[in-house]
Each structure stands twice: as C-alpha cells, then as structure tokens.
C-alpha cells in the first residue's frame, strides 16, 4: 500500500470513540495517511467516552478525489453530520467514484441521508435498522456486511472484523 494513499474519517461531536481511534490506528499502521475531517478545524471534537480529537481538515477544504476511502463512525455524531450538506455531498461523491465507504453503528444514517442504500445489503446499530429498511436497504444482523463498496458493522464489538474488511477493500483500490 502506498504511503501517499489517503483515507478520510468524518467526525462531529459525540462520536463513538473507538470507532474513530481503532480504524485510524489500523490504517496508519498500514501506511495510509488519515485525514480526520470535521465541519471545521477550530473546535475540539469530543467522543461519547471523552476522547478529544481535533480535525486536521475541514469539510470545506477536501474533495472526494483526494481519498481512496472513507470511514463513517457512529455515536451521535452522524445525527449532526447528516444535517451538514457538505458532509452529505462528500459521502455522495466518494460513493459516485465507487470508493470504499465503511460505516459502523449509527454511521449508516449518513448513507440514508446520501440516498445510497436502496437495494444494498447492510447492517448497523439496531436503532437505525428501520431507517435503513425504509430507505430501501436489506438489513441483516451480522458483525460485518460488504455489499459493493459499502462496508457496514453494528457496534464497537465488531471493530476487528470491520477494520479487516476495510483494509481488504482498500487493498483492491486502484490509484
């Protein structure tokens, strides 16, 4: 894997801590450049368990063309991110290029907002199951589900399988 390949992680307040830190660590250990992208760079983002992360990029300064993949963590951050049209458009643009998008927990609500779940087999935290089904997804209860470029998992307990599938998908990306 190239040291120049970049992966985006989008973030907002009250993200699920390990759903950011675990994928970030695994990606960096495989020599990916990881950009943590927030609605801005001026505030510190605090996870549900207290982890503090400062975004190194704002959504205003990034393009889907710059990244080989995207991670969307859960927690309560996706409820905030789905209200940000620039973040939703970023997800749409990554998907339009068929680049891997890995969502865990409540991250799937960003897929709903980007209108990219119809006909896709997905999983998520149980509380957004109905949202995904109503948006046209085929929801299943498994630790990790891969359908095309979409990788989904349910909870932090699924992170090992989630990260393994993310790294596998990124190894197949042509640059």
Distance CA 145, CA 57 (A): 29
Q: Among 106, 120, 129, 154, which one carries the catalytic annotation?
A: 106
Distance CA 33, CA 104 (A): 20
- In the annotation, is 167 catalytic? no
- Tokens for 123, please give them: 């999983």
Q: Under CATH, what is the fold of the domain 6-171?
A: Rossmann fold (3.40.50)
Question: Could you read off the pLDDT of 78-121 as tens digits, one per residue?
Answer: 999 999 999 999 999 999 999 999 999 999 999 999 999 999 99
Helices 159-171, 17-29: crossing angle, 10 deg rounding: 40
Q: Among 20, 70, 72, 105, which one carries the catalytic annotation?
A: 105
Question: Could you read off the pLDDT of 26-72 as tens digits, one per residue?
Answer: 999 999 999 999 999 988 999 999 999 999 999 999 999 999 999 99
The domain segmentation of the chain, as residue ranges, is 6-171
Phi and psi angles of residue 8, each rounded to the nearest 5 degrees, phi first: -100, 140
- Tokens for 105, please give them: 């927990």
Mean pLDDT of 7-25: 98
Question: Could you read off the pLDDT of 138-157 as tens digits, one per residue?
Answer: 999 999 999 999 999 999 99
- In the annotation, is 103 catalytic? no
Q: What percent of the chain has pLDDT over 70?
A: 97
pLDDT of residue 1: 47
């Amino acid at each position: 894997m190239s040291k120049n390949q970049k992966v985006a992680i989008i973030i907002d307040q009250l993200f699920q801590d390990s759903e950011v830190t675990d994928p970030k660590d695994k990606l960096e250990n495989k020599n990916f450049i990881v950009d943590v992208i927030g609605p801005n760079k001026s505030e510190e983002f605090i996870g549900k368990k207290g982890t503090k992360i400062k975004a190194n990029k704002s959504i205003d300064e990034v393009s889907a063309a710059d990244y080989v993949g995207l991670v969307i963590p859960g927690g309560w951050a996706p409820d905030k991110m789905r209200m940000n049209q620039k973040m939703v458009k970023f997800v749409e643009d990554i998907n339009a290029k068929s680049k891997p998008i890995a969502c865990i927990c409540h991250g799937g609500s960003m897929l709903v907002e980007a209108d990219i779940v119809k006909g896709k087999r997905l999983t998520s935290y149980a509380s957004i199951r109905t949202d995904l089904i109503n948006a046209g997804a085929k929801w299943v209860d498994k630790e990790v589900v891969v359908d095309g470029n979409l990788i989904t998992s349910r909870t932090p307990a699924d992170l090992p399988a989630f990260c393994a599938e993310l790294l596998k998908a990124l190894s197949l990306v042509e640059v």
